[in-house]
Amino acid sequence: MRVNTAVLFGAREPHRMVDVDVDEPRAGEVRVRMAASGVCHSCLYAIDGEHAAIPMPIILGDEGAGVVESVGPGVTTVAAGDHVVVSWAPGCGACRTCRQGLPALCQRQPPLGRMADGETRFHHAGAEVFHYGPATNAPFTVLTERAVVPVNKDMPLDLAALIGCAAATGVGAVRNTARMGMGESMAVVGCGGVGISALHAGALAGAYPVVAVDVEPTKFDALIRMGATHCVDAREPDARDRIRDLTGGGVDHAFVTTSAAAAFPLAVGVLAPRGTCVLIAGYPDGATVTFDPGHLLNGERRIIASKYGSSNPPVDFPDLVDLYLAGRLDLAAMVSKRWRPEQMDAAYDALRSGTATRGLIVFD
């Protein structure tokens, strides 16, 4: 089939709306008609040229939801017409980490921009167009069967898009990685889609206090509605002391959702003895972070990482859908703006500015 869609032909260039041929799904693959795609920070690395290895031209988008349009031979877990949330971490399904239920840590990732067989399913004027992960910014995308998780049809498909990355990552970091306990304190440094999901999950886990840390105080009222009990402006010179005071001397868990230079040192700096800094953010190529090793040692503070919220999508996505349907995960409040596919550059500009929580690209 041929669709008109936004394609990125090079870093630091605007998207171009062009015609793209989308292949039929091959064995073990599905083709999905996208309903919505989340505007995620990871795509900025391609747009801003911060990962040199990303091939061009490319279709972006790593969180989305839609309806299965057709399936290839041998597909058993989904059928045409199923509502699905897209996972950007299908994994190979066969390596050690995949079998442990951690597909985001798969040790046999397909070549960057291509399907596992080394080819693309998108072409423009006969030439390859690459996939940025699941490439959810196209109106139709081809995915391995393991990259789609069927969900309850009561779930609104536009909000379901957020489950595929922001919610899975933020909620998973709190539940799966940190395994936060009741009455433990937490801080979330960087309150976009992932950070808000972590605030929600902290509130659901019974954490107290739940401190939201951001550089955009205009978001603070909304963050209180989304689970935070206190907000701190990270740009204030005494931000670290304020967070420590709020949490009786230090936080048990500090989540870093942004690669902004000040975020990681702040998160480690506010930890209580035996507290844990959970690194969630992706960083540009070559980035380094700093921390005070004495502070780490003297309090046995810890730094751990959470990729995709240590999620196992077939298990965790339906849980997140149930949480939404039970009224306990306010995905709607997370959406700052809905965009048309042809407004893609404006959507990513808004994300880069830091004022947006989560944008959604909505298809017809």
Per CB under 8 A, residues contacting another protein are 175, 181-185, 204-206, 208-209, 229, 248, 319, 322-323, 328
Reduce the DSSP state of residue 260 to 3 states and report it. Answer: coil
Contact between 279 and 306 (Cβ < 8 Å): yes
CB-nearer residue toward another protein: 28 or 318: 318
Q: How far is the CB of 299 from another protein (least distance, A)?
A: 16
Q: Which is nearer to another protein, 43 or 212 (CB)?
A: 212
**CA–CA gap between residue 257 and residue 350 (Å, rounded):** 17
Closest distance of CB 252 from another protein, Å: 9
Strands (E), the chain: 2-7, 16-22, 29-39, 58-59, 64-71, 83-86, 122-124, 127-131, 140-144, 148-150, 186-189, 210-214, 230-233, 251-256, 271-279, 302-305, 335-339, 358-362
The per-residue b/e assignment along 184-197, b for 16 or more CB within 10 angstroms, e otherwise, is: bbbbbbbbbbbbbb
By beta-carbon proximity to another protein, the closer residue of 127 and 182 is 182
- State in angstroms the smallest separation of the CB of 110 from another protein: 31
Nearest distance, CB of residue 19 and another protein, angstroms: 44
Nearer to another protein, 169 or 229 (CB): 229
CB 214 to another protein: min, Å: 21
Closest contact distance (angstroms) between CB of 99 and another protein is 17
Closest CA to 252 of 198, 210, 213: 210
Neighbouring C-beta atoms of residue 333, cutoff 10 Å? 16
Nearer to another protein, 111 or 181 (CB): 181
| Cα four-point dihedral sign 252, 172, 214, 257 | positive
Q: Would you say 250 and 276 are in contact if contact means Cβ atoms under 8 Å apart?
A: no
**Closer to another protein at the Cβ: 72 or 299?**
299
